Amino acid sequence: MIIKSVRFARLSVPLHTPFKTALRTVSSIEDLVVIIDTQCGKRGYGCAPSTPVITGDTHQSIISIINTVLAPQLINQDVRNINALCDRLAAAVVANSSAKAALEIALYDLWAQGLGVPLYRALGGNQSELKTDVTISVDAIDKMLSDCDIALAKGFDVLKIKIGNDLEQDIQRVRAIARHVGNKAALRLDVNQGWDAKQAVRALQAIESEGIVLELVEQPVKANDVDGLEYISARVQSKIMADESAFSPRQVITLLERGAVDIINIKLMKSGGISRALRIADIAATYERPCMIGCMLEGSIAVAAAAHLAAAKARQIGLIDLDGPALGQYDPVQGGTRFCGPAITLNTGPGLGITGIEGLIELPNGVWQ
């Protein structure tokens, strides 16, 4: 299966409600779709969102690095050499994790198509159903409570609460939501780097002293503040999870070696795709630490690939935050993994199982517009 070309398209899906974190606010899913065609007529799909405040990558930077550096590593190469191709991408340029992820997703889609099985099967998995949490954006308390009600009505029983833009208000938000939701849902907090270490300890000790049980607390401090994560973990009962601090296998080793966090959030857009995500899951397993599979605000092509990975590594990746498609008003992708409320049902067709995508806008000039 020889690679003939790499092309781009854009895909937009409006959200039910704006997605707000301590880092950014967006009102639609904006994916750059990467399409790899082979000489034998097979087509692989990948995609990546623009998340400059997290990865440093924009749609245009992803297109540029693929066109100038990464695609030439793949043209005329055989997809069956998937491991070597992923190593070529990793070695060709540092950083640029979203571009590598988009290409790897399309490569793994093609590789599994070549084997004639869904991607999770090709990766050695045996589980076709997953259940995701859903994100509650940081907002005024009343709005967050009504968003919780909507999520519960859709069947979600794990809520990922975004906070991190004001310490005292954050404590009030968590208190109000915990009271409102009661035992109808488990609560995860995602601070998106919004606190410093002392603030985090103060907030979490206050929350814990009220008997509020949190399933986990994600990225309380700045991405590079490993000392801060270690300081917090030593002083609170809640399990601390690294998100923005954990891009590479090397960073994950440092975090776990130092006991700075309990859990690692794996995202394809941080690891640079499936090959390094697999490596991170194995590293965490070596340290006997669990992983979450997460996503950026991205659509169902990349989220499906993450779901296949999680299904293949179900023993290591037990926590699922793959709600991107659920936050969108509709799913334009046909034939692939199905997202229905908290339920994720992996495709039975080969690879990612994609048979069509509604509303794709081709970008023939390599310009994001």
Ligand X SMILES: C[C@H](N)C(=O)N[C@H](CCC(=O)O)C(=O)O
Q: Which residues are catalytic?
A: 162, 267
- The reply to whether 321 sits near Mg ion by the rule CB under 5 A is no
Return the number of the residue (51 or 73) whose C-beta is nearest Mg ion: 51
For ligand X, give the closer residue by CB, 242 or 352.
242
Rounded to the nearest angstrom, the gap between the alpha carbon of residue 101 and the centroid of all alpha carbons in its chain is 11
Q: How far is the CB of 16 from ligand X (least distance, A)?
A: 13
Distance CA 237, CA 234 (A): 8
Judged by CB, which is closer to Mg ion: 59, or 162?
162
Shortest gap between Cβ of 30 and ligand X (angstroms)?
10
Cα separation of 141 and 54, whole Å? 26
Quote the tokens at residue 139.
């907002």
In the complex, minimum distance from the CB of residue 49 to Mg ion, in angstroms, rounded to a whole number: 14
Neighbour tally for 80: CB within 10 Å: 14
Rounded to a whole number of angstroms, the minimum distance from the CB of residue 329 to ligand X is 15
d(CA 228, CA 231): 5
Nearer to Mg ion, 123 or 241 (CB): 241
- Contact between 16 and 27 (Cβ < 8 Å): no
The three-point CA angle 11-17-19 to 5° equals 75
**Vertex 263: Cα angle to 282 and 315 (nearest 5):** 45
Q: For ligand X, give the closer residue by CB, 319 or 346.
A: 319
- The residue among 97 and 113 lying less far from Mg ion, judged by its C-beta, is 97
Which residue in 147, 215, 243, 262 binds Mg ion (CB under 5 A)?
243
Q: Which residues make beta-bridge pairs with 242?
A: 264
Q: Cβ 183 to ligand X, closest distance in Å?
A: 22
Query: 297 contacts which partner out of Mg ion, ligand X, none, CB within 5 to 8 A by kind?
Result: ligand X
Q: Report the nearest approach of Mg ion to the CB of residue 6 (Å).
A: 29
Residue nearest to Mg ion (CB): 243
Distance from C-alpha of 57 to C-alpha of 187, rounded to nearest angstrom: 30
Q: Between the CA of residue 244 and those of 53, 217, 239, what are the distances in Å?
A: 10, 13, 16
Q: Which does 199 bind (CB under 5 to 8 A by kind): ligand X, Mg ion, none?
A: none
Picked from Mg ion, ligand X, none, the partner binding residue 51 (CB below 5 to 8 A depending on kind) is: ligand X
Residues within the interface to ligand X (CB under 6 A)? 21, 23-24, 51, 54, 135, 160, 190, 192, 243, 294-297, 321, 323-324
Alpha helices by DSSP H, the chain: 59-65, 71-74, 82-92, 97-115, 119-122, 141-153, 167-181, 197-209, 226-233, 249-257, 268-271, 274-286, 300-312, 324-327
Among 109, 147, 190, 215, binds Mg ion (CB under 5 A): 190
Question: 96: which 2 tokens?
Answer: 């640029």
| Interface pick for Mg ion out of 57, 147, 215, 218 (rule CB under 5 A) | 218
- Distance between start and end Cα atoms, the chain: 32
C-alpha of 357 from chain center = 21
Given the rule CB under 5 A, which residues bind Mg ion?
A: 190, 218, 243
